[in-house]
């Protein structure tokens, strides 16, 4: 374990690995898949050295199941995958939502659908990260734009999973995962880390109870609380039930516990929005090209700003709403045919113009093409 | 030693959901008796199940219990055991759960030889969904999705898991319930992956369609067709027709996975 502040040249995937270890992840199960494999390889190397456990499972379904098991036994748990594997994990992600098991799922986005372009970037899993599993459910999804931010958002993802007893998805893309940058990592002992709420005693133990904004304490398996965990609708002690009142309350609480605390989760950065005549809404690798386009535009006297999202879900509505209320047009560059833009349009609600710029050819935007799109009337 | 089997159950969850005449309750009681014989500290026992009639068993038992997703009980259990090897982890599955949707996980759990004790409730059918054929439905038998008779070959689950690397394999029936209890006890004590196939009867979804509508007839069928492995090995009997073997069918010693991983941790710490 590192015991000093350190600056290292590392890939996004390596920064993710290091962030997870520093955040206390001690259980990882995964299956090889490009472009996320370096995370599993790093975990196989480093986890046992800190007394943690690494499993290479037979597929991504089993990987997701195993990390839920690891978390039930009390360890901070994570998996990492990419497109096809992320699709396979969906059912058990829903199980973790329903049973309130903390865990982190890293999805390094690659071109799809299906096998697509395994070594090329994409941002087309944005809606899947919100709605990939069936049924109403909560979602916390973070997305970094650099190796540095991959480190900090991985720590945040682990903390949020524990804080809210829910799966947290870290949405990388192939570019962020594989680019190499300097990453400043603090002494891990200086990091603020979160542990899931655990009960103080067995009296009135209600691991699935509480108010609609509440995250009830839960005991690890082996602590003697004799808890039942089920993906069926269940009452506050975990017994299955078909009672419609209990069903309604459970689903509303699972979603409500995230909604009520969304200010703790939502992160974004505003760049030059004060005087902007047009604003880009971007995240991940697309935001890097967008930043360059912003600088080129400003050099030409075009006042461009950017709202850069680091949290995708819950959706950061406030900065978008503020821009829309001022009537500022918004450009949404993303490596898909229109996913984030749907949310931006929903919040803009016709008060300002919203334009989409998409790429699905496995190539990152050039700053020039974003610049041209900014200059076009829309 | 007399004991109250009911203390192993979450009595507030009873009565169970199983049909009248179902054999699952017999297996569940045998399991509770086995747990009494094993006498593990209660907080160290974890019971993991999949989805289906059999998998409802976990929720009735008063331990840390997990009712997982269909077919995935073994990888959930693998995660629990790996995270805390001190826990005694039992896995309850049905035949469709273990051998169809969970078949891949089953062979890999065997191959890893992780110290789990799996009990497969084999009722030869998908009961919860109303009687579709499973990979353990015998040829020519009828199911709602095989209305003209089953044309696929069925698995011999015990031979399958033995070939995949399971280090303890046994089979009993709801008629041979003392054997079933003993196999669960022996399987749990065995270091490595143990699988016990519990042949059970489903009069509602299987028996009615196959000329065995009466639960007692189904139990008699078990009695008449089960052949002790000891008698097969001694050459006294050669199973034929619908006959199947019961008893401790296979056992060998091999390195156990979580113990091996502790060695990995030692090696990694030396190099770190």
Sign of torsion over alpha carbons A199, B72, A248, B65: negative
Q: Tell me what percent of the residues of chain A surpass a pLDDT of 70.
A: 100
Find the closest chain B residue to A232 by CA distance. Answer: B67
pLDDT in tens, A59-101: 999 999 999 999 999 999 999 999 999 999 999 999 999 999 9
With beta carbons less than 8 A apart as the criterion, state whether A151 and A183 touch.
Answer: yes
Output the DSSP codes for A187-219. Answer: -GGGS--------SSSTT--TT-S-TT-----P
Contact assignment for B10 to A69 by CB distance below 8 Å: no
Q: Does B272 touch chain A (CB under 8 A)?
A: yes
Q: Identify the H or E element spanning A40.
A: helix A37-46
Output the DSSP codes for A237-276. Answer: TS-B---HHHHHHHHHHHHHHHHTTHHHH--EEEES-TT-
* pTM score, whole prediction: 0.98
Domains of chain B, first to last? 5-271 (3.40.50.970)
pLDDT of residue A163: 98
Name the residue among B48, B64, B265 with its Cβ closest to that of A48: B265
Q: How far is residue B11's CA from residue B58's CA, in Å, rounded to a whole number? A: 13
pLDDT of residue A4: 85
Burial of A56 (0-12, 13-18, 19+ CB in 10 A): middle
Contact assignment for A92 to B65 by CB distance below 8 Å: no
Interface test with A, best of B9, B51, B66, B91 (most A CBs within 10 A): B66
Residue B1 confidence (pLDDT) above 60: no
Token pair 């945040």 in the structure block, residue: A156
pLDDT of residue B272: 76
Name the residue among A27, A49, A69 with its Cβ closest to that of B77: A69
pLDDT of residue A3: 80
Contact assignment for A27 to B83 by CB distance below 8 Å: yes
- pLDDT category, B63, cuts 50, 70, 90? very high
Q: How far is residue B83's CA from residue A103's CA, in Å, rounded to a whole number? A: 14
With beta carbons less than 8 A apart as the criterion, state whether A309 and A282 touch.
Answer: yes
Name the residue among A74, A223, A229 with its Cβ closest to that of B67: A229
Q: Does B65 touch chain A (CB under 8 A)?
A: yes
ipTM: 0.97
- pLDDT category, A53, cuts 50, 70, 90? very high
Neighboring chain A residues of B268 at a CB cutoff of 8 Å: 45-46, 48-49
A144-148, A199-203, A326-330, range with the lowest pLDDT? A199-203
Residue window 143-182, chain B: list those with CB within 8 Å of chain A. none
Residue A378 confidence (pLDDT) above 80: no
Domains of chain A, first to last? 6-190 (3.40.50.970), 269-375 (3.40.50.920)
Residue B184 confidence (pLDDT) above 80: yes
Q: Identify the H or E element spanning A105.
A: strand A103-111
* Nearest CA-CA partner of A41 in A158, A143, A177: A177
With beta carbons less than 8 A apart as the criterion, state whether B110 and B165 touch.
Answer: yes
């Amino acid at each position: 374990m590192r015991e000093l502040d350190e600056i290292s040249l590392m890939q996004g995937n390596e920064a993710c690995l290091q962030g997870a270890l520093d955040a206390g992840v001690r259980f990882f199960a995964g299956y090889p898949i490009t472009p996320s494999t370096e995370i599993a390889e790093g975990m196989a190397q480093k986890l046992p050295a800190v007394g943690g456990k690494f499993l290479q499972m037979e597929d991504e379904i089993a990987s997701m199941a195993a990390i839920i098991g690891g978390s039930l036994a009390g360890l901070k748990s994570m998996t990492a995958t990419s497109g096809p594997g992320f699709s396979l994990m969906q059912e058990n992600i829903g199980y973790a939502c329903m049973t309130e098991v903390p865990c982190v799922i890293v999805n390094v986005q690659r071109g799809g659908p299906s096998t697509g372009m395994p070594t090329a970037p994409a941002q087309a899993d944005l809606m899947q990260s919100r709605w990939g599993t069936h049924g109403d459910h909560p979602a916390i999804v973070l997305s970094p734009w650099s190796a540095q931010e991959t480190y900090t958002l991985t720590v945040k993802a682990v903390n949020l999973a524990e804080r809210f007893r829910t799966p947290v998805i870290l949405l990388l893309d192939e570019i962020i995962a594989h680019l190499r940058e300097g990453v400043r990592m603090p002494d891990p002992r200086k990091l603020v880390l979160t542990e899931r709420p655990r009960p103080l005693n067995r009296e009135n133990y209600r691991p699935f109870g509480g108010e609609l904004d509440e995250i009830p304490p839960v005991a690890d398996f082996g602590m003697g609380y004799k808890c039942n965990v089920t993906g069926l609708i269940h009452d506050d002690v975990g017994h299955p039930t078909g009672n419609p009142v209990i069903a309604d309350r459970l689903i509303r609480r699972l979603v409500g516990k995230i909604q009520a605390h969304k200010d703790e989760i939502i992160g974004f950065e505003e760049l030059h929005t004060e005087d902007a005549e047009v604003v880009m809404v971007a995240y991940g690798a697309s935001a890097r090209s967008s930043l360059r386009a912003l600088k080129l535009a400003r050099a030409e006297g075009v006042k461009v700003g950017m709202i850069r999202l680091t949290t995708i879900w819950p959706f950061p509505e406030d900065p978008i709403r503020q821009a829309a209320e001022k009537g500022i047009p918004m450009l949404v560059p993303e490596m898909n045919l229109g996913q984030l833009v749907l949310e931006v349009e929903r919040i803009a609600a016709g008060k300002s113009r919203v334009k989409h710029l998409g790429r699905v050819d496995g190539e990152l935007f050039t700053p020039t093409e974003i610049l041209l799109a900014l200059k076009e009337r829309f | 030693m007399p004991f109250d089997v009911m203390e192993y159950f979450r009595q507030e969850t009873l009565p169970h959901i199983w049909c009248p005449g179902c054999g699952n309750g017999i297996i569940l009681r045998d399991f509770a008796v086995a747990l009494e014989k094993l006498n593990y500290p209660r907080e160290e026992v974890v019971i993991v199940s999949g989805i289906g009639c059999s998998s409802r068993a976990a929720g009735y038992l008063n331990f840390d219990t997990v009712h997982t997703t269909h077919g995935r009980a073994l990888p959930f259990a693998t995660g629990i055991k790996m995270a805390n090897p001190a826990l005694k982890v039992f896995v309850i599955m049905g035949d469709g759960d273990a051998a169809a949707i969970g078949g891949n996980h089953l062979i890999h759990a065997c191959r890893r030889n992780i110290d789990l004790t799996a009990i497969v409730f084999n009722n030869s059918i998908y009961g919860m969904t109303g009687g579709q054929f499973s990979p353990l439905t015998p040829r020519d038998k009828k199911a709602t999705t095989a209305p003209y008779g089953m044309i696929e070959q069925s698995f011999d689950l015990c031979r399958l898991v033995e070939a995949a690397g399971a280090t303890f394999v046994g089979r009993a029936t709801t008629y041979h319930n003392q054997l079933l209890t003993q196999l669960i006890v022996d399987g749990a004590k065995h270091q490595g992956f143990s699988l016990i196939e519990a042949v059970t009867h489903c009069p509602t979804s299987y028996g009615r369609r196959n000329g065995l509508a009466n639960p007692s007839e189904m139990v008699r069928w078990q009695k008449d067709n089960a052949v002790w492995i000891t008698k097969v090995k001694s050459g006294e009997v050669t199973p034929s027709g619908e006959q199947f073997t019961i008893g401790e069918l296979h056992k060998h010693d091999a390195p156990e996975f979580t113990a091996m991983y502790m060695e990995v941790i030692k090696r990694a710490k030396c190099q770190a």
